Structure 1
Amino acid sequence: MGRVRTVLGDIEAAALGRTDYHEHLFQVTPLLPGDELDDEDLSGEEARLLRAAGIDAMVEATPTGLGRDPAATARISARTGLGVVLTTGAHREAHYPSGHWLTALGPARLAERFTADLLDGAPAMDGPGESAPARSPKGEPVRAGLLKAGTGYWSISPFERDVLDAVAAAHRATGAPVMVHLEHGSAAVEVLELLASGGVPADRVVLAHLDRNPDPGAHAELAATGAYLGYDGMARTRQWPDSVLLDCLLRVAALGGADRVLLGGDVARRTRYVAYGGMPGLAYLPARFVPRLEREGGAELVRTVLVDNPARALAWSP
């Protein structure tokens, strides 16, 4: 399976355990005013609750320029025993205010930054200038283990295309896996085609938020390409009940796509973190959704989507 790069060092992919493929411990974005995740103690407590609910590892999916804190993430991982994979790359353009330094970089400079995060260590402070790598509690550089890009709703802006090109270049240079934010699950085929043209095969790509378009037939077709399907829309009852996603997942599994599904929560707001005084918290996924999946799909399916699939998806290519 290869190795997964965590904030505390590389581990064998088989040792990753039950993995939540998409959460945030730190995030500050103009799209979510008042919902900042910026307190190490509170985010650490939320991570502890996730770990206590039976999750062994998670992806910290905040990319460059949005309040990412690699050193604090490493400290939280060390304190809680929760394995954490840090993310580099950039989000969809709407998350960056006009004139943000990151949007002024072309694909070549973006690729240099992303590659350095993966190989040398993520900077202690994201910014336009040079910064020394963040350090873990043991004094080692905190390296990213995953590349991220983002696209709009049925749209890919020039900046977002630059990021996709940069992510592809960084993947070619390192073998790191790739995740793409798909707004409302749109443009999955188009994103896979663009990444493939840049040398990223579909089986190295995670399609985040695909379940925001709960279409099992389309998902099965995407799974057949080898791409991983990110399901992270649980507890969003304003949009749909969990039963919609559960039924979609079970149908995809019946159509042969079980070995490509990943589970996450993408809670991403202080008003939805128990430690910050909100609800339902990161533990909702393992405590509330996973037991339903096990009752209706069986323990083997749960192991596939929580253990086996993330171990393959997050392992670096040779």
Structure 2
Amino acid sequence: MNHSRRKFLKQAGLLFTTSASPISFEFALAKAEVMTVNGPIKAKAMGMSLIHEHILVDFIGADKISFDRWDRAQVVKKVLPYLLEVRELGVKTLVECTPAYLGRDARLLDELSDRSEIQIITNTGYYGARENQHLPKHAFKDDAEQLAERWIKEFENGIDGTSIKPGFMKIGVDTGTLSDLHRKLITAAAIAHKATGLTIASHTGASLAAFEQMEILKEQGVQHNAFIWVHAQGEDDVQKHVEAARLGTWVSLDYVSEGTVERYLEILQRLKAEKLLHRVLLSHDAGWYKPEETNGGDFRSYTDLFEFMLPAMQEKGFSKAEIKTMLENNPAEAFTITKRLA
């Protein structure tokens, strides 16, 4: 980000610093916590958060992926400057959404968190999108209870032999009506939520699968506010965003870029008119170190929100308080570990 853009954001009150005074959350209990790779912290300590980003993603497939496909030192060298860049912009927490069998590396995230001083949150769960090629073999034969037990154990004992625990669940389903396998994934997530209090973030897209998942959660006795509708921008009908938000679901618009500003403003203005900004999450879905490409390929920075989206929101009349609701209050509430039972 260039100096003139940073100066503009400061003058506009949109560049939040890490020294900003604490905010009070209407939802919060004093003991509300989230889980980072360095352990639990108070939810209000998340500060400004990017709730859907990636460090490294490997699409080689569940049957071929392994940690020896990348060199952690090289990944750290490539990615660390991008984390330091957003720390300067006031970001305190980054939610890393790469699931198991797609490149989740808890040790890598731990090192990057230590070196960047960015709080990083990782996940448990399985990703069924992309026609199930990132699901391990046991996911096809295990029932929902058995899958849930695997995820619960990671929360209780740590990930991949470490003491690092997940702060949420990440699952993925394909567009359209849910397959039986994907119904099993969301059912397993509901079971695991009831045991752990971890929020469920589901790669979804268009609304049909989102509402089907929400119905399964309801049947399982889990409130809709335990569910993040990931990639909700994939739904063209803004009324569906309104309906989901009214039910308590988190509506995640998570591919902020220069090219998405106009569309996102349309969605946000409608949600603002309906007094539903308290159910909105914003992020980039950026990063993406790719092990199969030289030096990880093109790595997309985490700054478009600050360079393009926030100035456009201010021009459309969004207040600093409304922006802080979406970037601070909402993430802290969404990722608070608590059992949200119907």
- Report the Cα distance in structure 2 between the residues aligned to 1:214 and 1:46, rounded to whole angstroms: 31
Tell me the TM-score normalized by structure 2: 0.79
1:145-184 aligned within 5 A: 145-184=167-206
| Percent of matched pairs sharing the same residue | 26
Instruction: Tell me the equivalent position of 2:281.
Output: 262
1:79-228 aligned within 5 A: 79-94=115-130, 96-97=132-133, 100-104=136-140, 105-123=142-160, 132=161, 134=162, 141-228=163-250
Q: Does 1:6 align with 2:65?
A: no
- Give 1:184 shift: 3.9
- Give 1:286 shift: 2.8
The alpha-carbon distance between structure 1 residues 116 and 99, as it changes in their structure 2 partners (threshold 3 A), is closer
- Give 1:204 shift: 1.2
Q: Does 1:287 align with 2:323?
A: no
- Give 1:270 shift: 4.0
- Report the Cα distance in structure 1 between the residues aligned to 2:271 and 2:70, rounded to whole angstroms: 33
- Report the Cα distance in structure 2 between the residues aligned to 1:276 and 1:179, rounded to whole angstroms: 26
- Give 1:44 shift: 2.8
| Deviations, residues 171-223 of structure 1 (Å, cap 9, x unaligned) | 01011111111134542211100112122210111111111224332211111
- Give 1:30 shift: 4.1
Equivalent residue letter for 2:325 = T
| Deviations, residues 254-283 of structure 1 (Å, cap 9, x unaligned) | 111110000111125348xxx956365212
Report runs of 4+ in structure 1 exceeding 6 Å deviation. none
- The DSSP-based 3-state class of the residue aligned with 2:121 is strand
- The DSSP-based 3-state class of the residue aligned with 1:58 is strand
Q: Give the counterpart of 2:321 among 295, 300, 314.
A: 300
Given that residues 54 and 286 in structure 1 are in contact (C-alpha distance below 8 angstroms), is that contact kept between their aligned partners in structure 2? no
RMSD: 2.3
Q: Does 1:25 align with 2:55?
A: yes
Q: Does 1:232 align with 2:268?
A: no
Given that residues 111 and 169 in structure 1 are in contact (C-alpha distance below 8 angstroms), is that contact kept between their aligned partners in structure 2? yes
- The structure with the larger Rg is 2
- Report the Cα distance in structure 2 between the residues aligned to 1:316 and 1:24, rounded to whole angstroms: 21
The alpha-carbon distance between structure 1 residues 76 and 215, as it changes in their structure 2 partners (threshold 3 A), is same
Aligned residue pairs: how many? Answer: 293
Tell me the TM-score normalized by structure 1: 0.84
| Deviations, residues 80-139 of structure 1 (Å, cap 9, x unaligned) | 11111111101124264388425333322211111112221111xxxxxxxx2x2xxxxx
- Report the Cα distance in structure 2 between the residues aligned to 1:277 and 1:99, rounded to whole angstroms: 25
Q: Does 1:16 align with 2:46?
A: yes
Equivalent residue letter for 1:109 = Q
Equivalent residue letter for 1:115 = I
